DNA sequence: AAGAAATGTGAATACTGATTCATATCTCAT
DNA sequence: ATGAGATATGAATCAGTATTCACATTTCTT
């Protein structure tokens, strides 16, 4: 046998190795978030991590691989954060609001992560699609259930899922990429009002 | 004097040159749209255009430069298309619907262009921001006017502009990047209903 | 304390691909 | 029809950087 089933990459065997791997991953997040994938060199990552260049390859097979790992890790923590925030909110529309708030808070705290996911569309399209498919599916189920229970008007849950996802992403981008400083609560308020009541007078 | 004020790049002086430059630009659109910026080499572009590699540098200063030009050109034609489609639609909400329809039709016809704009976020951030600022500002003005005239409920026009923009982008991405095949009219229907009436029963 | 495994080093390698350049060929004004 | 600019060629240059490798050092086991 070589390694575990999915065998991400070369797993460390000691606590020391674990710490080094972690340091490299954190450095990569920081550096790639700041410079973007192609500008970030292995050298800049290992420098940031305080290790030699060769050390990188003890823990990761390639530059692509560490990037994929970053994307997956980020997806996990974001999903976790949102499901925590919405776990015991009663009513789909309320859960929707809290999910949006949690999302915006998360991206404000981790602008690098946001940028990385966006870039994954080009660097690792498969990871990117998986990430959004997972999100869309979550939304879709919630909306379908809410329509069935009569909480919201009937309508195509899958398309609506993409609409809500788009709203969240756009507001996140407005803040992170375009630097607008509106407080999260105000964004959530405006968006939720539109989602619930529409624009019509 | 050297050239015109902004002097994009080396302008051709004859019809022959004009045609070659055009061929290279079209080839770049096709190739970069298919392979992405970093995978697309100058060689692959000139091969597609049917000219020698050196010819590229007669008309463009660098790979970056042709990319920026592509982004600008695309922004122009998309804006043009949308303003044509909404020019004489009475009522903001109706114009909104037709704008969305025009946008989705355009991206369905030019998936490469869509991909290129997205990638501009990393390759040419300034062009990217300019592109969306222009869009957001158009939306914002329309919404502010509609709120003032009482067609829609009052609310922050700028945030709402980003919300509507996000909806359009997300549905475009669903089609182009994720390959879902829903007819444009159905998307427009569902989105417009949500935008006008909200989800609430 | 000794050997083996794990970890760490950083200089050398290897490759890719953007850009340049010396050299044709073409086009148009005269 | 001719010569000066404009356009075209594609092989050579050049730079950047991902990856490898031969050689330390540290840690763990016994």
pLDDT digits (tens, 9 = 90+) for A12-58: 999 999 999 999 999 999 999 999 999 999 999 999 999 999 999 99
Q: What angle do CA A154, B85, B100 make, to 5 degrees?
A: 30
Q: How far is CA A176 from the centre of its chain?
A: 13
Please give the residue that has the higher pLDDT: either B127 or A6. Answer: B127
Supply the pLDDT for residue B8.
Answer: 58
3 state DSSP class of B150 = coil
Dist. CA A68–CA A63, nearest whole Å? 9
Q: What is the dihedral of CA B155, B158, B159, B161, to 10 degrees?
A: 100
User: Would an 8 Å CB–CB cutoff place B3 in contact with chain A?
Assistant: no
Residues 65-124 of A with CB under 8 A from B: 93, 118-119, 121-122
What is the average per-residue pLDDT within B136-163?
A: 97
Between CA A145 and CA A93 the distance in angstroms is: 11
The secondary structure of chain A, three-state, reads: CCCCCCCCCCCCCCHHHHHHHHHHHHHHHHHHHHHCCCCCCHHHHHHHHCCCHHHHHHHCCCHHHHHHHHHHHHHHHHHHHHHHHHCCCCCHHHHHHHHHHHHHHHHHHCHHHHHHHHHHHHHCHHHHHHHHHHHHHHHHHHHHHHHHCCCECCCCHHHHHHHHHHHHHHHHHHHHCCCCCCCHHHHHHHHHHHHHHCCEC
Q: Using alpha carbons only, how large is chain B's radius of gyration in Å?
A: 20
The arithmetic mean of pLDDT across residues B147-175, rounded, is 97
* Residue A15 backbone phi and psi in degrees, to 5: -65, -40
Cβ–Cβ < 8 Å for B106, B97: no
Among B170, B196, B199, beta carbon nearest to A162 = B170
- Residue in B closest to A34 by C-alpha: B122
The answer on pLDDT for B140 being more than 90 is yes
Tell me which of B5-14, B69-78, B138-147 is least confident: B5-14
Q: Which two tokens stand for residue A43?
A: 């050298």
Burial class (CB within 10 angstroms; exposed 0-12, middle 13-18, buried 19+) of A1: exposed
Q: With 50 as the cut, is the pLDDT of residue B6 above it?
A: no
What are the two backbone dihedrals, phi and then psi, of residue B200, each rounded to the nearest 5 degrees? -55, 140
CA-nearest residue to A33 within chain B is B122
Question: Residue A93: pLDDT above 60?
Answer: yes
Closest CA to A196 of B142, B6, B194: B194
How confident is the model over B24-36, as a mean pLDDT? 96
How many interface pairs between A and B have CB atoms less than 8 angstroms apart? 141
User: Which strand (E) or helix (H) includes residue B155?
Assistant: none
How big is chain A, counted in residues?
201
Chain D bases under 7 Å from protein CB? 5-12, 16-22, 26-28
Domains and CATH numbers, chain B: 15-60 (1.10.10.60), 65-197 (1.10.357.10)
pLDDT band for position A113 (cuts 50, 70, 90): confident
Q: How far is the CA of B2 from the C1' of C15 (A)?
A: 39
């Amino acid at each position: 046998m070589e390694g575990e089933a999915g065998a991400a990459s070369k797993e460390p065997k000691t606590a020391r190795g674990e710490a080094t791997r972690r340091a490299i991953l954190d450095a990569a997040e920081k550096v790639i978030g700041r410079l973007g994938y192609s500008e970030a060199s292995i050298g800049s990552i290992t420098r940031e991590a305080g290790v030699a260049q060769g050390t990188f390859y003890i823990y990761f097979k390639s530059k692509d691989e560490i990037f994929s790992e970053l994307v997956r890790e980020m997806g996990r923590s974001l999903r976790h954060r949102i499901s925590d925030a919405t776990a015991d909110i009663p009513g789909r529309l309320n859960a929707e609001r809290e999910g949006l708030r949690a999302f915006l808070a998360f991206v404000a705290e981790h602008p690098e992560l946001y940028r990385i996911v966006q870039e994954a569309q080009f660097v690792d399209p498969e990871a990117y699609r998986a990430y959004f498919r997972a999100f869309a599916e979550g939304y879709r189920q919630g909306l379908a259930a809410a329509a069935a229970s009569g909480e919201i008007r009937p309508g195509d849950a899958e398309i609506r899922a993409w609409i809500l996802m788009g709203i969240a992403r756009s507001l996140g981008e407005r803040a992170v990429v375009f630097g607008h400083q509106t407080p999260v609560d105000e964004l959530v308020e405006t968006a939720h009002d539109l989602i619930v009541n529409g624009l019509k007078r």
